[in-house]
Structure 1
């Protein structure tokens, strides 16, 4: 199924010159990964501290775009500038899960939101990333199949922040967005598991 992840090659091409400049300045892939994770935690704390200041949620789509750029840059640095490492692989996977969780948890604090669906969206997202990594364990590749991968969740969460900040206000639409994210997350888990097994030599 189609995913925002399919657009990554074009995004990476645009960021390649910036990554080269950062490499020249001595910036490492792991430093970029850690910066993105720490930034996500900071933004999550900010939104959790003032969840009812809806204009503040406009920070979310802006930061998510920057985080996506950081994720692409750390990959370029690792692959094309000789910075690939086992520590980097761990930081990349853990950082994504920590960042997603930190940025989604503040939605729980919005008045009228059903916490169950927010928690389900987070848990299913974590399981989806776990299944993606398990592809390597069973002899396949790391699976990034959609329709609700990391980039798709960022798009959905950024849209939520944009709508809140733009004055759409609170309402049941937030629950429905979380339900859709969770539902498509389950499809993602199935797709990743199925394709990992199909790719694995018998």
Structure 2
């Protein structure tokens, strides 16, 4: 199914000049991953306090875009300059899950009437990444299938942050927003497992 992940190759091409500059500056893939994790913490903290300072809602669309760029760059750096390592893989996978939780946790504060749906969203986000990792375990290929992969979640939550900054009554539609996201996450998990099993079989 359609996913923002499908445009990743074109996005990576745009990042090539930055990639080469980082390599010339002796920046490693693991360092980029760590910066992405720190950035995620900053985004999450800013989101939490955005109730007092509405301009902090912009940390979501802006911050998530830069985090997506960093996530692309660390993989590109590792593959292009032979920096792949077990430590890097652990940092990448664990860092992504921690980062998602830190960034998405404040949703509980801004969508209190959809508390259970937000909790389900947080749990399904982790399960989705676990399903992707299972693809590597059973078929030696990490699965990134959508329609609600990591990049898709970042886009949707970034759009929510922009809407909150603009003062739109987005919480009014919270039930539908998270219901749809959760359904798409379940579909994504299904496709990841199905295609991993097909590859293995």
Query: If the TM-score is normalised by the length of the shorter chain, which range does it land in?
Result: over 0.9
User: How much is the aligned-residue C-alpha RMSD, in angstroms?
Assistant: 1.4
CA separation in 1, counterparts of 2:12 and 2:48? Answer: 32
In the alignment, which residue of structure 2 is the partner of 1:68? 68
CA separation in 2, counterparts of 1:81 and 1:145? Answer: 26
In the alignment, which residue of structure 2 is the partner of 1:12? 12
Tell me by how many angstroms 1:42 deviates.
1.9
In the alignment, which residue of structure 2 is the partner of 1:125? 125
Q: Secondary structure at the match of 1:143?
A: coil
CA separation in 2, counterparts of 1:159 and 1:49? Answer: 18
Report 1:136-175 matches (<5 A).
136-175=136-175
CA separation of 1:149/1:187 partners in 2, compared to 1, >3 Å: closer, same or farther? same
Q: Secondary structure at the match of 1:113?
A: helix
- Residues 1:176 and 2:176 are matched in the alignment: yes
Alpha-carbon displacement from aligned partner over 1:44-79 (angstroms, at most 9, x marks no partner): 122223435433211210000000110111111100
Maintained 8 Å contact 1:132/1:142: yes
Structure 1 residue ranges, 4+ long, deviating more than 3 angstroms after superposition: 49-55
Q: Secondary structure at the match of 1:163?
A: helix
Deviates more, 1:136-145 or 1:46-55: 46-55
| Structure 1 gap ranges (5+) | none
Tell me by how many angstroms 1:126 deviates.
0.4
CA separation in 1, counterparts of 2:170 and 2:17? Answer: 41
In the alignment, which residue of structure 2 is the partner of 1:106? 106
CA separation in 2, counterparts of 1:181 and 1:118? Answer: 10
In the alignment, which residue of structure 2 is the partner of 1:40? 40
CA separation in 2, counterparts of 1:150 and 1:87? Answer: 21
When the two structures are aligned, how many residues end up with a matched partner?
Answer: 201
CA separation of 1:22/1:127 partners in 2, compared to 1, >3 Å: closer, same or farther? same
| Structure 2 gap ranges (5+) | none
CA separation in 1, counterparts of 2:111 and 2:143? Answer: 36
Deviates more, 1:17-26 or 1:161-170: 161-170
TM-score of the superposed pair, with normalisation by structure 1: 0.94
CA separation in 2, counterparts of 1:167 and 1:51? Answer: 11
CA separation of 1:132/1:111 partners in 2, compared to 1, >3 Å: closer, same or farther? closer
Maintained 8 Å contact 2:46/2:57: no
CA separation in 2, counterparts of 1:144 and 1:194? Answer: 12
In proportion to residue count, which structure has more helix?
Answer: 2
